[in-house]
Amino acid sequence: MSRLAGAITGSCVAATLALIAAPLSAQADRYELGKRFIALEKIAATKSDPAERASIAPEIDRALQSFFSMNMRTACRAIDAARLKLEHGESVPADIRWATSLSVSSEAALVDADAESIEFTVDSLYDAEVSVPEGVIVRIRCGEHRFEAEVESLPLALTLKTPPPGDHKVHWEIVQGERVLTQRVRTQSVAENLRARIDAVRTKANALEPVGEPDIRTEIASARALANRCRALTRPRAPETDFPAARLLTDAEALVEAAGRGRRYFDQRRPGEHWVRFLAGDRKVSCRVLVPKLDHESEAPPLVIAMHGAGGSENLFFDGESGLTPELCAKRGWLLVATRSTPVRPPPLDALLDELGTRYRFDPRRVFVVGHSMGAMQAVGEASRRPSRFSAIAALGGGGRIRRSQGFEKLALFVGVGDRDFLAGGARQLRRAATDAGADVTWREYQDVGHVLILQDALRDVFAFFDRRADRDD
C-alpha cells in the first residue's frame, strides 16, 4: 500500500470510529450535513460553467477537511457557502446567510399517535455572524396542520398538532414579507401503540430460532435491526437520514410474523425499497435494496452493488445525488443493493451474492459494482479476489490495490476521478495497474470536479458503461 493510500485509510478509520462514538449533537449535525450537501448537489447539477464549478472548490475542500476532523458544523457552513455562491455569486445577502444557518429539529423522528402535539425547535446550526433580521417569520406545516411565529430570538420552540399515523413530510420556511429566505423538508413519522409494538417485535425476534429450510436468519436479523432503529427514532436525536419509520415498524411486524411461520419475507415477490440485514456467510450486512417488479419468471436483470465512502452508509447512494442511482436502476428494471461498510471490514461480496441469489432473480453474468472513495478501493479489492463473480466495476474518486488472479483480464473497469480530487493520483495508478493486468479499462477524468461531487458528474457515464456490458452476449 502506498504512503498516500495508507494515510487516506487511516483518516477513513479515524472518521468512522469518531462517527460511531460521536455525541448526540454530532449525530444531529451529521443529519444536517447530509441535507445541506443534497441541496448543494441539486444546484450544482444545474451549473454547466466550469468556472462556476471551480469557484466553490475551496469551500468543498474545507468541508471535507472539517468532516474528517469531526467538525460537522464547520463542514455545514462550508457546504452552505458553496451552495450560496452558486446561487448568488460573491455577494450573498446577509438575511439569506442568516436563514441558511438555521435548522429545525423535532422532539423525535417517530412519535406515538396519542401525543396531542409535536414540538419543533428552530435554532442556529452555526454562527452566520448576522443579527436576527427584522420581520422574519418561520412557517411550518404538515398536511393540514400549520403554525407560524415571528423570530425575535433563538432558539424558538414551535408546536404542531400531531398528524394521523403514517410517514409525513414536514415543510418549513423562513420568510420576510414576500421573500422566502430558505425552505426545507424533513420526515416526521407517527405510529399507534408505539412502544408496545416495538417491544413486541423485539421480544418475538429474540425468541425466534432458525430451524430447517428455508433459511430465515436474514428475516430474524432484519426484524431486530428495524425494531432497534424504530426505538432509536423515538429518542430526541436526529437520525442519519429521513426514514419512513412508521412503515419500517410495520415491516418489522410482518417480518416476525413470516419468520414465526418459517417463511421468508424478503424475496422477488416483494418489489420496492427495503432495509435488509442479510446473513452473508458468518457476517451480517446491512443493506438498502431496490427490487424491480418482474413480469415474467424468465426475467433475470443485472444486479448493481453500490459501496459508499468513509463516514457514509447504505443510504448514501439512495439519498444522495437526488436519488440518481435508484432512478437509473428503476428506469432499467435492475436490482440495486447498497451495502454498509467500514474501512477495516468491507462487506463480503462473495457471500452476499450467494445469499442474494437465493432470494432475488438476477443475471449472475451481469453483476456490476460501483464504489466511491473507500467504496471504490473495496470494490476493486473484492473484484481482484473473485473476478469471475463480477462483470464490471466502477471506481469513482478512489484507487485500490489489484491482486492479479485468474480471470481478472476479463473484467471491465471504469475509473473516474475529478482533476481536483486529492485521490486523483491513486485513481491514475489504478488505471495503469489494471491495464497492465489485462483488464478492459475505461478512463474518465472530470474537469473542475473534486472528491465529493464526482458521483453527480460520473453516475450517468457509469450506467452507460454498465449498459454496454449488459448488452454483451457472453
What tens digit of pLDDT does each residue of 122-133 get? 999 999 999 999
pLDDT on residue 377: 95
Lowest mean per-residue pLDDT among 213-222, 431-440, 465-474: 465-474
pLDDT on residue 474: 57
Domain ranges in the chain with CATH number 3.40.50.1820: 270-470
- Residue 365 cell numbers, joined: 453474468
pLDDT at 29 over 90: no
3-state secondary structure 349-394: HHHHHHHHHCCCCCCCCCEEEEEECHHHHHHHHHHHHCHHHCCEEE
pLDDT confidence band for 345 (50 / 70 / 90): confident
CA distance 316 to 307: 9
pLDDT confidence band for 473 (50 / 70 / 90): low
Residue 198 CA, chain-centre distance (Å), reads 25
Beta-sheet strands, E only, within 43-178 = 102-106, 110-112, 117-124, 136-142, 145-150, 156-161, 166-176
Lowest mean per-residue pLDDT among 7-11, 169-173, 465-469: 7-11
Q: What share of the chain is helix, strand, coil (3-state, %, to 5)?
A: 45, 25, 35
Average pLDDT over the chain reads 91
CA distance 396 to 394: 6
pLDDT on residue 26: 57
Listed residue (308, 265, 264, 268) closest to 285, CA to CA:
308
**Mean pLDDT in residue range 176-198:** 96
Domain ranges in the chain with CATH number 2.60.40.2550: 100-191
pLDDT in tens, 35-60: 999 999 999 988 888 888 889 989 99
Give backbone dihedrals phi and psi of 240, rounded to 5 degrees, phi first: -65, -40
- Residue 76 cell numbers, joined: 455545514
- Residue 278 cell numbers, joined: 442479510
Q: In terms of DSSP bridges, do strands 179-191 and 110-112 run parallel, antiparallel, or are they unpaired?
A: parallel
**Mean pLDDT in residue range 345-366:** 96
pLDDT on residue 126: 96
Q: In terms of DSSP bridges, do strands 117-124 and 392-396 run parallel, antiparallel, or are they unpaired?
A: unpaired
pLDDT confidence band for 108 (50 / 70 / 90): very high
DSSP state of 408: G
CATH for 270-470 is 3.40.50.1820
pLDDT on residue 9: 36
State the virtual CA torsion across 338, 311, 384, 392 in degrees, nearest 10: 40
CB atoms within 10 A of CB 385: 12
| Length, in residues, of the chain | 474
pLDDT confidence band for 6 (50 / 70 / 90): very low
Query: 222 with 285: CB under 8 angstroms?
Result: no
**Residues 49, 53, 55, 56: is their CA dihedral positive or negative?**
positive
CB atoms within 10 A of CB 370: 29
pLDDT at 404 over 90: no
CB atoms within 10 A of CB 337: 28
**Mean pLDDT in residue range 384-391:** 93
> Considering the domain 100-191, what is its CATH architecture?
Sandwich (2.60)
Query: 191 with 165: CB under 8 angstroms?
Result: yes
3-class state of residue 76 by DSSP: helix
Lowest mean per-residue pLDDT among 25-34, 196-205, 287-296, 355-364: 25-34
pLDDT on residue 127: 96
**Mean pLDDT in residue range 294-306:** 92
pLDDT on residue 157: 95
Q: CB neighbours of 11 closer than 8 A, spacing ≥ 6? A: 68, 310
**Mean pLDDT in residue range 262-288:** 96
CA atoms within 13 A on the CB side of 242: 18
Cell numbers 403514517 label which residue? 166
pLDDT confidence band for 27 (50 / 70 / 90): low
pLDDT in tens, 241-254: 999 999 999 999 99
